[in-house]
Structure 1
Amino acid sequence: VKAPRMAGLFIKIFTWFLESKIIGALMLKKDNKLVSFAELKEPPLFVPCHPDHKEGEVKVLQPDLSPAEKVQQAVDCLPLSSEFRRWTIQDYSKAYTSTPLMVAKHFINAVRDLQMSFFINHSEEDILRQATESTRRHERGKPISVLDGVPIAIKDEIDCMPYPTTGGTRWMHKFRPCTDDACCVKHLRSCGAILVGKTNMHELGAGLSGINPHYGAARNPYDIKKIPGGSSSGSAAVVSAGLCPVALGVDGGGSVRMPAALCGVIGFKPTFGRVSHSGVLPLNWTVGMVGVLAGTVEDAFIVYAAMSGQLPSHQPNTCLHQFPLLVTNVKLAKSAEWFNDCTDEIRSCCSKALEQFEVTIPDIEAMRLAHYLTIGSEELGWDSRVALRVYGAFNSQEYINAQKMRSRQMHFHKAIFARADVIVTPTTGVTAYSIMDDALKTGELDYINGAALVRYQIAGNFLGLPAVTIPIGYDKLGLPIGLQFIGKPWSEATLIHIAFAAQALRKPEVFYNML
């Protein structure tokens, strides 16, 4: 990618040129040839649905179980303890033999003290109300589940009462009021979780830095001068800083996995159709999926168990392996050229973690553009003028070609998964870069860093595949490096086990001790 970084006055001038009917059209069409003039014989694939597939050696969750019962089965699969790590859901549950109300007050104080733009909306009154109810249940010896009293944050793209859903804008909630919890939020609430507010995000998910000119730039807890990544910026940062063990995000173009990698936490995106879209802003629904950001793989697993299994027409029963599981027989595949398209530090760190055989994934660049065209055609409501103009430049035939490219890539990846269980890549091509002052009010265009950040996440969204990122190491500045595993459809159990075996954690610069 060859493009200068722009912010402030320069981004305004660039927008003026893009919106010019003649000059803008010429600028926007120049680099779209891979999709515009592609001759593809494959039929278009508009929604990445997958046939049912059940993993071997699994414990199957019954479809009639309540979210709390699913959570208990997930907990039963976990080992008793591990080495020093972040506070987990089970830590919170054990601490609540005293009171969840105390932790809620710690949380409120932490949000006040840190002032790092983690949240768009939170209500101290509502948090204390939920914590008081949870405390009473614990005092009676009748917590609903291991999630009872655990603080969980929700990306402001997902409906969660009593908050408006802004999508990171100043206007969305005025035209689309929030009247009920999203399906995934209902399940967490039914397990007794304390829903602590709506986290900051890149405006309408239209960028990768997480800088929001309306609600501030969320800061990376490993270095507050660095970006947390987007678009689930606040969710990644709030988990990294220790305010919550888990937060929800939405992953339409790496929007869970990329900020998770930059902030040194777990980012988990299930197979398309595994978790209900109900109550989620329809910004990019054929490539987007509700995902989990967590301090540990165990916590991601527990929350995933609570939320999954809501679309029986799209997916089989949720499957869980018994922990711990030996993963020495899992075949990992990598594309050398693609894997190595990152900084030297990331390549070295990720390579040390792997033993694999190599595969070739054709048309990587064409898939990137086809995904970009698809996500843009679904997000024409974005008021980001640059994004709107770029996405609006694509025509219907180019959109059809992009869906044909999706069909072709589905075939390529099916062939790869016939030889391997998991494709492994770095999560991002670069670590977190600096937040510049001129971007705070206008946002920024940084296509060079942006392309490097999103490079490895496209297949998971475009093809609806499950994927997980784990912190695998740190660069010379102490910034986290993520390693990503992309699985076969419905192979979440395999991914969770690989992630559990490989996660490596280091305490960030900003970390709040909630317990």
Structure 2
Amino acid sequence: MLTASELVAAYSMRELSPVEATETALKAIDESDGDYHAFCLVDADSALAAARDSEQRWQDGNPIGWLDGVPSSIKDMFLSAGWPTLRGSACIDRDQNWDVDSPVTARLREHGLVMLGKTTTPELGWKAVTDSPSEGITRNPYDPSLTPGGSSGGSAVAVACGMGQLSVGTDGGGSVRIPASFCGIVGFKPTGARIPLYPASPFGPLSHAGPMARSVDDVALLLDVLALPDHRDPNALPPPIGSYREAVRRDVRGLNAAYSPDLGYLTVDDEVASIVGAAVSALDAAGLHVENADPGFDNPVEAHELLWAAGAAKWLDTFPEGSAERIDPGLRAIWDTGLTYSASDYLDAVAVRAALGIRMGEFHNHHDVLITPTVAIPPFEAGHNVPPGSGLSSWQRWAGFSYPFNMTQQPAISVPAGVTSAGLPVGLQIVGPRHSDDLVLAVAKLVEETRPWATDTPAAPVTALRTSATPPASTTPAGART
């Protein structure tokens, strides 16, 4: 199964065309998505038309970007002209004008990527698994009885199963990294506001967009596209200096990394701890200086839950009257909870977030990056918000490695570290100081080199394109399935 980088190399050498790659991705969707439910909308006609346009550009020697013609998808949280953006909810009116592209969608179109469709999300992306009353359950490609994680679970499954090489998800508490870990792919949450967002998320500074792919190189290439500015996000960062596709090859041997197996307060599955620990030992042997060190903060779960519930309540207040009885019952519960908070309560949680950011800034004065497991547990039974029988009260209670770094807006990436005895993927998380996206990608590349992972998902019955190509040097529309 080719990566995006390999596809582009094959296009440039005339070994494959974007039309062939798109047809293969659409075939994979036809063959596999009935089992896994990664997509809520597929537009084959539009994708093939875009692929033919890209094919002509490659034939003329004028591709419009590093990823021109690569089959891709976006989570159904991003506005996309011509396609409804229902965000996993039956309460959003499908029959309205869908004539605006979000910054993410606009950049993908401008750079010639072939958009296959939109991927599934829980309602409003509110939880770390992927199911909703309107869309049903999205399932893990390694074992369909298990969850792929969430809330960008559809995107992770699409990439893992070869239903397109790239996808873009959102991450407000781990929603890119958790499904990347559970599905054995790479998922990157860059520094807050590195990827412009519009409209602004009610979850505020917790919200990020992030690229998802099967290699670190592909994530870096996609970030080069997504990080371009957009005037509609007043908080967006200026364009990056240099390119991530080059920075990913930076030599990080000799840098100092901290490894925290539990952040000082989490309980971690023994097999997850063993797999990540072995990957960390391999990194140390490869020349990254690793020492055990905890960041030294208390679990900020209550502050995150408050910020999350307050954002959900604000968003749901814009829904039509009577929506409360139609939404996901768990979302309804945090809506009700969010309405009980005062402005003072909210500001107290903001203060916790600020103090956490300062603490991590101090920590990174001594440690270039922090390494942890991505998730404390392997994938669990699909259709549940928490592992059955765990007694946990919310998804945050099993996702403790991810949401603290939404609160601090630090770049954090999940890369595959290995598989359990049951053959389930386990992710390793790398966290860097704010604005060190290039460093985080470079350390992730070292993980990829020291612990290479398979590029095919074992359980997915996907026909994959294969070639010896190497990467280059540095409105529902007609034909759509909903």
User: TM-score normalised by the shorter chain: which range applies?
Assistant: 0.7 to 0.9
Residue type at the aligned position of 1:184 = V
Deviations 1:6-29 (A, max 9, x none): xxxxxxxxxxxxxxxxxxxxxxxx
Deviations 1:296-330 (A, max 9, x none): 00000000011114279653542445553332222
Residue type at the aligned position of 2:295 = I
1:326 to 251, 273, 281: 251
- Secondary structure of 2:206's counterpart equals coil
Q: How far 1:361 sits from its partner (Å)?
A: 3.2
- Larger CA deviation: 323-332 vs 111-120: 323-332
Distance 1:317 1:124, change over 3 A: closer
Q: How far 1:243 sits from its partner (Å)?
A: 1.4
Q: How far 1:451 sits from its partner (Å)?
A: 4.0
Distance 1:249 1:322, change over 3 A: closer
RMSD: 2.5
Q: How far 1:117 sits from its partner (Å)?
A: 1.2
1:475 paired with 2:420, answer yes
- Secondary structure of 2:156's counterpart equals helix
Residue type at the aligned position of 1:349 = I
Q: How far 1:283 sits from its partner (Å)?
A: 3.9
Mapped partners of 1:288, 1:449: distance in 2: 19
1:428 paired with 2:350, answer no
Q: How far 1:288 sits from its partner (Å)?
A: 0.5
Residue type at the aligned position of 1:391 = G
1:378 to 299, 311, 318: 311
Residue type at the aligned position of 1:253 = G
Deviations 1:144-201 (A, max 9, x none): 2231111110000011222111111112245985322111221121111001111001
1:304 paired with 2:223, answer yes
- Secondary structure of 1:267's counterpart equals strand
1:458 paired with 2:458, answer no
Aligned equivalent of 2:98: 178
Map residues 298-447 of structure 1 onto 2, 5 A cutoff.
298-310=217-229, 315-318=237-240, 319=242, 320=244, 321-322=246-247, 324-335=249-260, 337-338=262-263, 341-354=267-280, 355=284, 356-365=290-299, 367-380=300-313, 381-382=315-316, 383=327, 384-435=331-382, 447=392
Contact 1:430 1:452 in 2 (8 A): no
Q: How far 1:270 sits from its partner (Å)?
A: 0.8
Contact 2:184 2:426 in 1 (8 A): yes
Deviations 1:464-495 (A, max 9, x none): 11111100011111100000011101101111
Contact 1:210 1:218 in 2 (8 A): yes
Aligned equivalent of 1:257: 177
Residue type at the aligned position of 1:505 = W
Map residues 143-158 of structure 1 onto 2, 5 A cutoff.
143-158=63-78
Q: How far 1:294 sits from its partner (Å)?
A: 0.7
Q: Which runs of 5+ in 1 are unaligned?
A: 1-85
Residue type at the aligned position of 2:211 = V
- Secondary structure of 2:210's counterpart equals strand
Aligned equivalent of 2:22: 104
1:88 paired with 2:7, answer no
Map residues 52-67 of structure 1 onto 2, 5 A cutoff.
none
Deviations 1:192-212 (A, max 9, x none): 100111100111112222122
Contact 1:428 1:452 in 2 (8 A): no
Q: Which runs of 5+ in 2 are unaligned?
A: 285-289, 317-326, 466-482
- Larger CA deviation: 180-189 vs 483-492: 180-189
Mapped partners of 2:54, 2:310: distance in 1: 43
Distance 1:317 1:94, change over 3 A: closer
- Secondary structure of 2:205's counterpart equals coil
- Larger CA deviation: 485-494 vs 346-355: 346-355
Mapped partners of 1:205, 1:256: distance in 2: 11
Mapped partners of 1:200, 1:431: distance in 2: 21
Distance 1:323 1:197, change over 3 A: closer
1:159 paired with 2:61, answer no
Q: How far 1:402 sits from its partner (Å)?
A: 0.4
Distance 1:172 1:447, change over 3 A: farther
Residue type at the aligned position of 1:171 = C
- Secondary structure of 2:204's counterpart equals coil
Aligned equivalent of 2:207: 288
Mapped partners of 2:97, 2:148: distance in 1: 28
Q: How far 1:93 sits from its partner (Å)?
A: 2.0
Mapped partners of 1:177, 1:462: distance in 2: 34
Mapped partners of 1:410, 1:331: distance in 2: 20
Residue type at the aligned position of 2:350 = Q
Q: How far 1:245 sits from its partner (Å)?
A: 1.4
Contact 1:221 1:237 in 2 (8 A): yes
Residue type at the aligned position of 2:20 = M
Contact 1:243 1:514 in 2 (8 A): no
Aligned equivalent of 1:489: 434
Mapped partners of 2:310, 2:332: distance in 1: 14
Residues paired across the two proteins, number: 424
Residue type at the aligned position of 1:111 = I
Mapped partners of 2:108, 2:460: distance in 1: 27
